[in-house]
Amino acid sequence: MLANPITIARWMIVAGIAGLLVIAALAGWFLRDQIFQTFQDPGEPFQTYTPPAGVDYAEAGAWYATGTFSDHDEPAVFFVHPTTYSGGANWNAQLDKASANRAVTEIAMPNYAAPFARSGVLFAPRYRQAALYAFMNNREDSVQARLFAYQDIERAFDSFLERIGTDRPIILAGVGQGGFHTLGLLLNRVSDAPALRNRLVAAYIIDTPVPLDLFAEALAATPPCETPEDVRCVYGYAYAQPDEDDRIRILTERTMSWTPQRDLAFVEGRGLLCVNPILGTRSSEYASARQHRGGVAAEGLPPDTTPAPIPGQTGAQCADGILFVDEPRHRDLQRPHRLAEDFREPPFNLFYEDLRIDVAQRAFALTSILQEERRWAPPLQIIEEVEDAPVVPIPDRREF
């Protein structure tokens, strides 16, 4: 019995439509980040864009965290949070954007700020962060949005220095976008200030490429942290798994960072700093999972809660400026499958306990050094004025 030609035609149409839907779905899956990026475009040049209102850093509401010191030598921690605003309506996030603020307080602070806060009093400014969209491309508008956000961080840092006094140890820490801004502070506020460099425990630049050419010039007096005992140095890494080709390409080629001339350029060909957080050294040695002190997934935990680290989760090795890590065994420490995940910070800190111990050791070392320096070179007392004494000439004996 022959099939009805009309029925065959209908089935062919249905099959064709189904095939097109499958092709469209596959295309949408493979191009999902590009589609997401399109929807996050503010659609207005930065030059004509009106940024959100700023804030006065003398006010308590300008900070996610501030504190009081228990003694003269307690370090002050200046922490800059990563990107938590995707974009869409603005190049830079409004300071009252609820979803972005919630991501800072519930994810960034307990996971990324807390390891440093265990070694000092935490100061974490609110700032008009550049949208995630501004880091997914390198348009001139996107670059301007990043530099605009950096201006807030400079103002916050100046206020921070006024609050903490002139001789207290300081710890700088930034993650993701926050690392980019922290590196800018090193170049523009710390590198040419010997007294400030002297108080620096270390600058922790996490998940942001740090070009090595900076240390040959602008940061020559603030070298990389070579060993766990070093202080007044720069500690940095950006990590990826060996099969994450797109992320590796982003970190080594497509990212723009600071130059010795204080402007921005691509990192490709400049070499990148990599300090292995498991070893605390700038080394190409492989650190096994047995040496991993522990990561945490602390989302939603109160700031004063100490999370239990999950140790032995990953090995790590620096190669070509990237920290290559093994796939963590625990599900809570595996990257989620979110849109634009290669540009985001995960909702956990894979090296939480490694960082906590590292900064504690370096803070103790610098505090001891500063105490010793003060003991051998105490501050000058009040200078007494001495009146000019009259000069009485000595007679020339030959005249007698």
Taking alpha carbons only, the member of 135, 8, 25 closest to residue 83 is 135
Cβ atoms of residues 235 and 351 within 8 Å:
no
* 3-state class percentages of the chain: helix first, strand second, coil last, to nearest 5: 40, 15, 45
Per-residue pLDDT at 38? 75
Which pLDDT band, with edges at 50, 70 and 90, does 374 fall under? confident
User: What is the mean predicted confidence (pLDDT) over 15-20?
Assistant: 59
Query: What pLDDT is attached to residue 26?
Result: 44
> How far is the CA of 158 from the CAs of 55, 57, 71, 83, 137, in angstroms?
14, 9, 22, 22, 30
Across 31-47, average pLDDT: 78
Res. 342: pLDDT tops 70 = yes
CA distance 94 to 108: 18
Spatial separation of the C-alpha atoms in residues 391 and 371, rounded to whole Å: 44
Confidence of residue 34 (pLDDT cuts 50, 70, 90): low
Q: Give the distance from CA 182 to its chain's centroid.
A: 6
Is the confidence at residue 246, as pLDDT, over 90? yes
Cβ-defined contacts of 263-270 (< 8 Å, 24+): 264/143, 264/146, 264/147, 266/138, 267/209, 267/211, 270/211, 270/212, 270/213
Mean pLDDT, residues 111-118 taken together: 96
Q: Confidence class of residue 25 from pLDDT cuts 50, 70 and 90?
A: very low
- Across the chain, the runs of DSSP E, i.e. the strands, are 63-65, 76-80, 121-125, 170-175, 200-206, 233-237, 239-240, 256-258, 264-266, 316-319, 322-325
Please give the structure tokens belonging to residue 159: 């206020």
What whole-number distance in Å separates Cα of residue 378 and Cα of residue 136?
Answer: 51
Strand partners, 264: 258
Per-residue model confidence as pLDDT tens digits over 181-239: 999 999 999 999 999 999 999 999 999 999 999 999 899 999 999 999 999 999 999 99
**Residue 6, H or E segment:** helix 5-30
pLDDT of residue 390: 62
> Quick one: pLDDT at residue 24?
42
Q: 127-180 pLDDT, tens per residue? A: 999 999 999 999 999 999 999 999 999 999 999 999 999 999 999 999 999 999
Q: Tell whether the model's pLDDT for residue 33 goes beyond 90.
A: no
Angle, helices 32-40 vs 5-30, to 10°: value is: 70
User: Residues 263-322: pLDDT tens digits?
Assistant: 999 999 999 999 999 999 999 999 999 999 999 999 988 767 889 999 999 999 999 999
**Rounded mean pLDDT of the chain?**
90
- Angle, helix 140-164 to helix 177-185, in steps of 10 degrees: 60
What share of the chain in percent tops pLDDT 70? 85
pLDDT given for residue 279 in this prediction: 98
Evaluated on CA atoms 107, 112, 113, 118, the torsion sign reads positive
Does 38 or 113 have the greater pLDDT score?
113
- Which of 6-10, 69-73, 251-255, 278-282 has the least mean pLDDT? 6-10
Listed in sequence order, the residues at least 6 apart from 328 whose beta carbon sits closer than 8 Å to its beta carbon are: 295, 313, 314, 334, 350
